Amino acid sequence: MERHTWSKKTLKAGLLLSLAGLIAATGCSSTKDNAGDKSSPSAAASVSKSPAAETNKPQADLPRVDLTWYYGINAAQADQQTVENAVNDYLAKNTKLNVTLHLKPIPFAEYDNKMGPIIASREKFDIMWTTGSWLNLYQPLIDKGGLLPLDDLLEKHAPKTRHSIMPEAYWDSIRSSSGDHKIYAIFSLQIAAAQKGFAFQKRFVDKYKFDVNKVKTVADLEPFLKQIKDNEPDIIPLAFPSTIGNGPFFPDNIRNIGSSFYYKQDPYKLIEREQTPEYAAYLDLMHDWYKKGYIYQDIAATQDFVKLQAKGNIAVTAEQGVFPGSDITISGRSNNQPIITLPMTPPVFSGASGTMEGISSTSPNPERAMMLLELVNTDVKLYQLLCYGVEGKHYKVVDGNYTPIDGAGYAPDINWVFGNTFNALPKAGQPRDLVEQTKKMNADAEVSPIIAFRPDDSALQTEVAAIRAVQKEYMPGLETGTYNPKDYLPKLLDNEKKAGLDKLHQAHQEQLDKWAAANGKKK
C-alpha cells in the first residue's frame, strides 16, 4: 500500500476540503437522515457513488439486527435507558438501518478492567471505543485481533466519513503499525493539535493577583502553588491524572510518534525519554513539589481523577490538551469553577488517535455497525441525542448554547467519545466560532516530518508487554513526585532494560531508517 507523506501545506489543504465536505454533509440539522437526504445534491452524489449504500433501501429489505456499543464515560447516567430508547426511536423513524442499538457505557476508571475480559472471551459485540495512548489501546487491540480492518467497509458503507468529512492526513495517522497499514477505527473529528499547559481556577488567580502570563517554564508556577498551600488549607494546589504521561512534562524540544520519542532538531534519531536529562529534571521538580505539599499527596493511588476533579477544589491542573473552548470543558469537570487556561507549548499536530470507535472482530453485523457510525458522524440529530439526551428533558438550547437541565439524569459530557465533535452544540461561554478556531489550530499546528512513520511491534509483543508492565509499576509514582527519583529512576531504567527496551528501541530505529530512506526523508 502506498504511504502518504505530507507537509503543513498539505494538511491545511486537507482541512479546507474537510470543511467544505462538512458543510455539505451537516448543513441541515433537521430530523431527516442526513446521510440519505436527497434534497442535498452533495448528499445524493455521495450516496450514488456507494454501490452498497444499503441505508437507501426500504427498511423491509434489511433484516432487523441488534448492535452493541461499548464506550467510556465519566460516570453512570441515571437516564441512560431513557436516552437509549430515544436513540432507537429516532433510528426507527428517521433511518432505514432497521437496528436496535444497545449502549454499554463503562466509567473510564473501570474501562480497561472490564473491556479486557470482554475482548479476551471473544464476546460477540459490535462497536468499541479505543484510544491511541490512554484506554483500551488501539495498536495492541489490532495486534491481538480484536478489531476488524475497516478500509473496505468505509468505502462501501461510510463514504462521507471516509472522504468528505475526515481529512486524509488524519487517516494516515491512525493506520496500523503491524505491517498492513490498514485503518482499524474511525476517529472522532475534533482538535488534533496537542498544546499542553495548565488550567487555573480563576477565583485564586484573581484573589492572589497572579499573572499567569509570567509562567514561561513549569518551575515558574511555584510561587502560586506556595500561596495556595500556605493560605488555602482545603484546596489542592496541583493535581493531574496519575496515568503515565499526564503530568506537566512540557519540554518544547522533545516530540513523540506513538511510544517513540525524538528531539525536535533531529527527528530521525529516536531517543528514550526516560533516559534524557529533561525527564530527570522533571522528576526532581515533581518530587520537590510533592515534599512541599504542592501536589495532591494521594495522587499516585487515585484511580478516578474525574471524581477528584469534580469536587472543584484543585487550584491548578496539568492539561495535555489546551485548545479553543477547553476552559469551558475543564470548568465543567471542576464543579463549574471558572477556568483560565495557559498553553505551555506550541500546537503540534498529534494525529487522530486520541479517541476512536472500532468494530469488534466478533461483530455479527460489521456492515450495519459501519452504517451506524456513518450516521453518528453525519446525522446531527442522532449525534446530539447520544451526547446530550432528549431536548427539553435533559437539556435546552439557550441562545444557541447547550444548557443541561439540573437533575435531569443525563449529562455525560463526552462528545469526543461518540464521533464528529463539529456537530456538537457550543457551551455557554464558548466562542461562536469555536469550530473555525479549532480547524485553524489544527491547520496551523507543527507537523512532524515523520508523522506517517508507524513502528511495527508485531514481532516484539513479549517485550512490549514487559516494558509496559515495568512502566506501570514505576512511572505513576515517579511522575507524580511520590517516589524519590534518586531511588526509583535507576530502578525504572534497569527494569526497562531487562524487559527488552534496548531491543525495542533498536527495532524502531531500524524501521525508521528504512522508512526514511524509502521516502527520501533522510540525507
DSSP 237-287: EEE---STT-S----TTEEEETTEEEETTEEEEEE-GGGSHHHHHHHHHHH
Percent of the chain with pLDDT over 90: 70
Would you place residue 40 in the very low, low, confident or very high pLDDT band (cuts 50, 70, 90)? very low
Do residues 182 and 320 share a domain? no
Lowest average pLDDT, out of 46-55, 225-234, 383-392, goes to 46-55
| Axis-axis angle for helices 461-479, 501-518 (nearest 10) | 110
* Domain shared by 388 and 499, yes or no: no
Using pLDDT thresholds of 50, 70 and 90, give the confidence band for residue 257: confident
Q: What does the pLDDT read at residue 54?
A: 44
Q: Is 2 a domain residue?
A: no
Using the 3D structure, point to which of 396, 415, 443 is the last residue of a domain.
443
* 368 and 402 belong to one structural domain: yes
Burial 49-83 (b: 16+ CB within 10 A, else e): ebeebbbeeeeeebeebebbbbbbbbbebebbebb
Q: What value does the mean pLDDT take over residues 162-186?
A: 87
Taking a C-beta distance cutoff of 8 angstroms, is the pair 246, 295 a contact? no
pLDDT tens digits for range 398-409: 999 999 999 999
pLDDT of 6 > 80? The answer is no
Q: Report pLDDT digits (tens) over 127-138.
A: 999 998 789 999
Query: How many domains does the structure of the chain reveal?
Result: 2
Query: How high is the pLDDT of residue 27?
Result: 32
Say yes or no: 300 and 396 in one domain. no
Scored b (16 or more CB within 10 A) or e, 474-497 reads bbbbbbbbbbebeebbeebbebbb
Same domain, residue pair 13 and 160: yes
Query: Is 451 within the bounds of a domain?
Result: no
Q: Are residues 218 and 331 in the same domain?
A: yes
Instruction: Write the secondary structure of 466-514 as one string of H (helix), E (strand) and C (coil).
Output: HHHHHHHHHHHHHHCCCCCHHHHHHHHHHHHHHHCHHHHHHHHHHHHHH
DSSP letter, residue 301:
G
Q: Which amino acid type is present at position 512?
A: L
Helix (H) or strand (E) holding 339: strand 339-343
Q: What is the pLDDT of residue 60?
A: 52
Residue 454: pLDDT band (50, 70, 90) is confident
Q: Is a pLDDT exceeding 80 seen at residue 35?
A: no
Residue 25 lies in a domain: yes
Q: Domain range holding 54?
A: 8-192+352-443
Residue 84 lies in a domain: yes
Confidence of residue 505 (pLDDT cuts 50, 70, 90): very high
Question: Which of the listed residues 382, 410, 443 is the one where a domain comes to its end?
Answer: 443
Return the residue matching grid coordinates 463503562: 106
How large is the average pLDDT for residues 314-341?
A: 94
The more confidently predicted of residues 61 and 496 is 496
The Cα–Cα gap between 478 and 287 comes to 8
Helices 380-388 + 80-94 axis angle, to 10: 170
User: Which pLDDT tens digit goes with each residue over 50-99?
Assistant: 333 444 444 557 899 999 999 999 999 999 999 999 999 999 999 999 99
515 pLDDT more than 90:
no
More confidently predicted of 456 and 412: 412
Q: Is residue 405 in a domain?
A: yes
User: Residue 504: pLDDT band by 50, 70, 90 thresholds?
Assistant: very high
Are 208 and 125 contained in the same domain? no
Last residue within a domain, chosen from 415, 443, 471 = 443
Least confident of 25-34, 174-183, 323-332, 513-522: 25-34
- 97 located within any domain: yes
Q: Average pLDDT, stretch 16-29? A: 32
Higher pLDDT, 451 or 87: 87
Confidence (pLDDT) at 170: 86
Max alpha carbon distance in the chain (Å)? 70
pLDDT of amino acid 24: 31
Q: What is the CATH classification number for the domain harbouring 378? A: 3.40.190.10
Model-wide pTM > 0.85:
no
Instruction: Say yes or no: 65 and 84 in one domain.
Output: yes
| Beta sheet of 260-263, edge-to-edge order | 254-257, 260-263, 266-271
Determine, yes or no, domain membership for 453. Answer: no
Residues 238-245, mean pLDDT to the nearest whole number? 93
Does one domain contain both 207 and 248?
yes
- Same domain for 205 and 275: yes
Q: Does 234 reside within a domain?
A: yes
Cβ pair 125, 62 in contact under 8 A: no
pLDDT at 45: 28
Give the pLDDT band of residue 258 (cuts 50, 70, 90).
confident
**Residue 36 predicted with pLDDT over 50:** no
Domain identity same for 124 and 258: no
How many residues are there in the chain? 523
142 with 26, same domain: the answer is yes
Cβ-Cβ contacts under 8 Å for 361 (sequence gap 6 or more): 145, 146, 147, 148
Per-position b or e across 262-278, b if 16+ CB within 10 A of its CB: beeeebbebbbbbbbeb
